[in-house]
């Protein structure tokens, strides 16, 4: 019985195409629970249907707890997770921790919590959507792509941080006297640097001096290249990973 359940629960062991019926139901429940968590943040809906939301959340908690228990039980079919120590090793694995974290907000919301923590618990419930990642080959491909190009990404991230800090420091030099609230220190100027280098440009803080505007223009042009650099790295990495997967599938056939 456990071996049959393992085939249905562990997506990599399912002999058929796509997801097993069990995991399809789990995906539907995850999407429904996220939709309920989003709707509950609307005061008009929450105040009029508080009991309904509480009942739905309790139902999702029970169903996901049963699913979590089944996953821990059938994990023993994998030689790596056999025995008590194996089960404990499974419980601290990445996806098992995501499953467990998704259950915590309901338990914490049962106590007497302040408004901020209650809002935080509602938002944390949205992490349930991350559980869909265990059923997606794209998530696995993303992990491989990030790992393969980790050095290039770290290099581009380091360059972006250096330019971010340097631009904030220069605007602090040019604008601190004229706009002390926005550029009176390097930490204050960092907000402008983030908005400019990411090409968002909120416009709430802008340089007014000639030298500040000249440097702002240079920073904006540099930001275009820095934003495009990691995007190009990831695109190339994705292409390599998917080509490797196609070659592997072709060789197996």
Q: How confident is the model at residue 107, as a pLDDT?
A: 80
In this prediction, residue 138 has a pLDDT band, given cuts at 50, 70 and 90, of: low
For residue 210, the model assigns a pLDDT of: 92
* pLDDT in the model for residue 55: 92
Where along the chain do its domains lie?
2-135, 148-252
Give the pLDDT of residue 160.
84
197, pLDDT greater than 90: no
Residue 130, exposed/middle/buried by CB under 10 A (0-12, 13-18, 19+)? middle
CA dist 149 and 151 (Å) reads 6
pLDDT of residue 209: 92
Average of per-residue pLDDT values in the chain: 83
pLDDT for 252: 58
DSSP, res 164: H
Q: 213-226: string of b/e by CB count within 10 Å (b at 16+)?
A: eebbeebeebbeeb
Q: Which residues does 89 contact at the CB level (< 8 Å), separation at least 6?
A: 80, 81
Residue 9 pLDDT exceeds 90: no
Q: What is the pLDDT of residue 44?
A: 85
Residue 66, pLDDT above cutoff 90: yes
Instruction: Please state the rounded mean pLDDT for residues 137-143.
Output: 66
Angstrom distance (rounded) from CA 81 to CA 93: 10
220: tokens are: 């904006």
- CA-to-CA distance for 99 and 96, rounded, in angstroms? 5
Checking if the pLDDT of 81 tops 70, the result is: yes
Q: Is 148-252 the same fold as 2-135? A: no
Q: Is the pLDDT of residue 185 over 90?
A: yes
Model pLDDT, residue 112: 66
Q: Average pLDDT for residues 69-84, to the nearest whole number?
A: 89
Average pLDDT over residues 22-44: 88
Question: Distance between CA atoms of 148 and 164, rounded to whole angstroms?
Answer: 26
Structure tokens at 123: 């938002």
The reply to whether CATH 1.20.120.350 applies to domain 2-135 is: yes
* Residues 134 and 23 sit within 8 Å (Cβ to Cβ): no
Ranking 81-95, 96-110, 154-168, 175-189 by mean pLDDT, the lowest is: 96-110
Q: Which of 27-41, 91-105, 106-120, 203-217 bottoms out in mean pLDDT, i.e. has the lowest?
A: 106-120
What class, spelled out in words, does domain 148-252 have in CATH?
mainly alpha
Kindly state the tokens that stand for 4.
């049959």
């Amino acid at each position: 019985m456990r071996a049959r359940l393992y085939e249905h629960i562990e997506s990599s062991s399912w002999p058929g195409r796509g997801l097993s019926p069990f995991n399809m139901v789990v995906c539907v429940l995850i999407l429904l629970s996220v939709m309920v968590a989003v709707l509950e943040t609307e005061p008009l809906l929450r105040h009029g249907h508080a009991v309904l939301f509480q009942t739905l959340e309790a139902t999702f908690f029970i169903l996901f707890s049963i699913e979590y228990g089944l996953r821990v039980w059938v994990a023993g079919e994998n030689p790596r997770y056999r025995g008590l120590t194996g089960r404990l090793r499974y419980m601290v694995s990445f996806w098992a921790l995501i499953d467990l974290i998704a259950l915590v907000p309901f338990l914490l919301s049962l106590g007497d919590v302040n408004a901020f923590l209650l809002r935080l618990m509602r938002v944390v419930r949205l992490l349930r959507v991350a559980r869909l990642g265990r059923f997606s080959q794209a998530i696995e491909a993303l992990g491989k792509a990030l790992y393969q190009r980790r050095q290039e990404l770290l290099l581009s991230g380091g360059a972006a941080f250096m330019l971010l800090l340097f631009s904030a420091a220069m605007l602090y030099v040019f604008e601190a006297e004229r706009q002390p609230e926005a550029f009176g220190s390097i930490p204050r100027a960092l907000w402008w640097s983030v908005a400019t280098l990411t090409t968002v440009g909120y416009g709430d803080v802008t340089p007014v001096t000639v030298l500040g505007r000249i440097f702002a223009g240079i920073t904006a042009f540099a930001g275009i290249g820095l934003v495009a650099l990691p995007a190009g790295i990831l695109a190339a990495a994705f292409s390599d990973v998917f080509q490797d997967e196609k070659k592997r599938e072709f060789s197996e056939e």
